[in-house]
Structure 1
């Protein structure tokens, strides 16, 4: 079993090249495939996890195979395990005193922001949605007490500012239960 401490992400603008890159990436190093799929608008996203040296090797091989079709790559060492669990899955904690959301034009933006957010404050990730069915956008939703959510959102925005273009962000104190339930999709 691969030790998970690092997340790797590769984005390509060719689905066929993406499929080929996944095969080479998995053969290049010991890593776990989290997700590999086509998405809007005609891109292919690959997420892997494992030890940092394996992820570096795998992402490098994927980028080599993808060549001119690679539009983004990312390696995040010491990733918070919440980020890996939250990718394209929704978890509603029992206590949601405040909700924060950060929205980006790219999948990489939300991954980076989520990691910075959960490392900066005592919050839980509700959801990390990456580009599927939302025109290539992504967003992260988190919860905790109001001050923690504000601190986490600010840390996420600051942490991702060099890598991704933010669309918007919000912090909602005392959200209604109906809103929380609507986040499960």
Structure 2
């Protein structure tokens, strides 16, 4: 069962590529993403069964050494996280808009997972580092109460690590704003 996801975030691209190679050789996992991101960081996201992801991330953290920024393992990732990372989501309908922003890419994935699990919301996009100075943000929609509940759950994750930049809830976004998001 491939429902676990793990990620490492490094400050070195060279060490990131080297580390990713070892992570993929260590356990039977698939790379969701392994790429440089702004500003000169590198991320590797893997998925597979829980034991394989734990083994892969453990090797990744050890190999990353002083270049490690952040890492995580999510044993039962919400199914909407993957499409949000690739910006291939289109909500059934729009309501309130929730936005969470973090200095860490890894913590934003965990925060997005928490938001999606905490409330009846739909993911729009999970933007990761490229073109935004190494930060990340997650946008999602639902009714106002659900979006607020999602923000509360997700923000607690990033805040706990000291990496939260900002959160916003827009109860009734302009149609022109929605058009810019899709």
Q: Which of 52, 56, 59 is matched with 2:57 structurally?
A: 59
1:181 aligns with 2:179: yes
**Under a length normalisation based on structure 1, what TM-score does the superposition of the two structures give?**
0.92
1:145 matched residue in structure 2: 143
2:81 matched residue in structure 1: 83
Give 5+ residue unaligned stretches, structure 2: none
**Under a length normalisation based on structure 2, what TM-score does the superposition of the two structures give?**
0.94
User: Residue 80 of structure 2: SS of its match in structure 1?
Assistant: helix
User: Residue 161 of structure 1: SS of its match in structure 2?
Assistant: helix
| Maintained 8 Å contact 2:3/2:76 | yes
- Aligned partners of 1:151, 1:135: CA distance in 2, in Å? 28
- Aligned partners of 1:8, 1:164: CA distance in 2, in Å? 20
**Superposed displacement of residue 40, structure 1:** 1.0
Aligned residues: 182
- Aligned partners of 2:28, 2:7: CA distance in 1, in Å? 15
1:20-99 alignment, distance < 5 Å: 20-99=18-97
Offset from partner CA, 1:52-108 (integer Å, 9 cap, x none): 110110011122222222222111111111112211414232410111001111112
- Aligned partners of 1:174, 1:95: CA distance in 2, in Å? 13
User: Residue 63 of structure 1: SS of its match in structure 2?
Assistant: helix
| Runs of 4 or more consecutive aligned structure 1 residues displaced over 6 Å after TM superposition | none
1:135 matched residue in structure 2: 133
For the aligned residues, what is the CA RMSD? 1.4
- Aligned partners of 1:111, 1:68: CA distance in 2, in Å? 22
